[in-house]
Amino acid sequence: MNLKDFNFDLKQIRTFMEVVNEKSFTNASRNLKLSQASISHQINQLEKMLGVKLIHRNSQDFSLTHEGSVFFKFCEKILTDIDELKSNLISGYFGGLIHIAASSIPGTYLLPKVLSRLNEIFPQFRYRVDIVNSREAIEIVKQGEADLAITGREIKHPSLNFIKVYEDEILFVTHPDKRIVKSVDEIKNLPLITRETGSGTKNMTETYLQEHGLITSELNILMECSTSEGVREAVLNGLGYAFISNIAIENDLKLGKIKVIKLHDFKIKRNFYVVTSKARILTQPVSEFVEKFSSIELWNKI
């Protein structure tokens, strides 16, 4: 075999890595938004070009051959070198770019405080922050489109790391002029302002209500919002009742603009997590930033 026979591209390498990391052609197909036939074709082309079998695959077994393991290490090195090249090129203009996906509450109220502290340690970096819901933030990291995420929800996946860094409380609130209810069962008759599907706040709230015998279909949902600020403004203007993070309304509570309805045995605690990908190999500077960002000591100071 001579060098001109090595005619594979980055697309094939990324497909191979996704298949191996997922241990599934089906999951790789879904993640890459390609047909399974296309995925299989790319792997077959790689094996044909290299002249070796890379993957043992049947209904009972999915594993790398010895040659597949050698090629996997090669692909890891290639992708690391490419990420480092991209980082170095960006650094030449911007001093380094960190891409963070954040769900609504931590992205709006906590992340600016954390980045302010980290900016003193890593002055060379600049930041891109995408504010989305928790499910979307996790998916962005899983797809390798962000360096890390901060979310209010944990979704178990073999290619992801979740590190608990902060504890939050979700409160049941309304405008001061609205009537007070005394039991969870009364909630189903109230006009509710909620977050959208995929939100960590909504997920935690629905789980709590289901544990107390209330299901989503029984609720009187007046309005659904894609941001916590939208929920907050609706409550401030007397539109209804809402479950919202304590962090989002701290000042409103102090000023008496929003009141908390305290119900018997009502307490919803939830965690915020830093999410990173096990599959993505970070450059050394970004890796150092992520390690510091994930430090519980850092979050305890905000």
Let me know whether 186 and 148 are in one domain.
Answer: no
Residue 77 lies in a domain: no
Give the CATH number, domain containing residue 15: 1.10.10.10
Residue 82 lies in a domain: no
Let me know whether 239 and 293 are in one domain.
Answer: no
Residue 182 lies in a domain: yes
Structure tokens at 3: 């060098």
Let me know whether 139 and 275 are in one domain.
Answer: yes
Q: Which domain holds residue 105?
A: 90-166+271-300
Residue 80 lies in a domain: no
Predicted model pTM? 0.67
- Cα dihedral 70/73/78/80 (nearest 10): 180
Let me know whether 182 and 248 are in one domain.
Answer: yes
C-alpha–C-alpha distance, residues 267 and 282, integer Å:
39
Let me know whether 210 and 264 are in one domain.
Answer: yes
C-alpha–C-alpha distance, residues 144 and 122, integer Å:
22
C-alpha–C-alpha distance, residues 21 and 160, integer Å:
11
Residue 73 lies in a domain: no
Number of structural domains found in the chain: 3
C-alpha–C-alpha distance, residues 78 and 100, integer Å:
24
Strand partners, 131: 102
Helix H or strand E segment including 221: strand 220-225
- Residues shown for the chain: 302
Let me know whether 157 and 287 are in one domain.
Answer: yes
Let me know whether 147 and 104 are in one domain.
Answer: yes
C-alpha–C-alpha distance, residues 181 and 190, integer Å:
9
SS3 219: coil
Give the CATH number, domain containing residue 185: 3.40.190.10
Let me know whether 194 and 176 are in one domain.
Answer: yes
Helix H or strand E segment including 277: strand 268-277
What are the residues whose beta carbons fall under 8 Å from the beta carbon of 244, sequence distance 6 or more?
170, 171, 173, 201, 228, 231, 232, 235
Residue 83 lies in a domain: no
Let me know whether 173 and 263 are in one domain.
Answer: yes
Helix axes 10-22, 25-32, angle to 10 degrees: 130
CA dist list (Å): 183 to 57, 180, 207: 55, 10, 17
Helix H or strand E segment including 130: strand 126-132
Q: What is the pLDDT along the chain (302 residues), one digit of tens a residue?
A: 444 566 788 889 999 999 998 888 888 998 888 899 999 999 999 998 888 999 987 767 788 999 999 999 999 888 888 877 776 665 544 457 899 999 999 999 999 999 999 999 988 888 999 999 999 999 999 988 899 999 999 988 889 999 999 999 999 999 999 998 988 889 999 999 999 999 999 999 999 899 888 888 889 999 999 999 999 999 999 999 999 999 999 999 999 999 999 987 778 999 999 999 988 877 777 888 889 999 988 988 88
Residue 72 lies in a domain: no
Let me know whether 154 and 287 are in one domain.
Answer: yes
Let me know whether 296 and 151 are in one domain.
Answer: yes
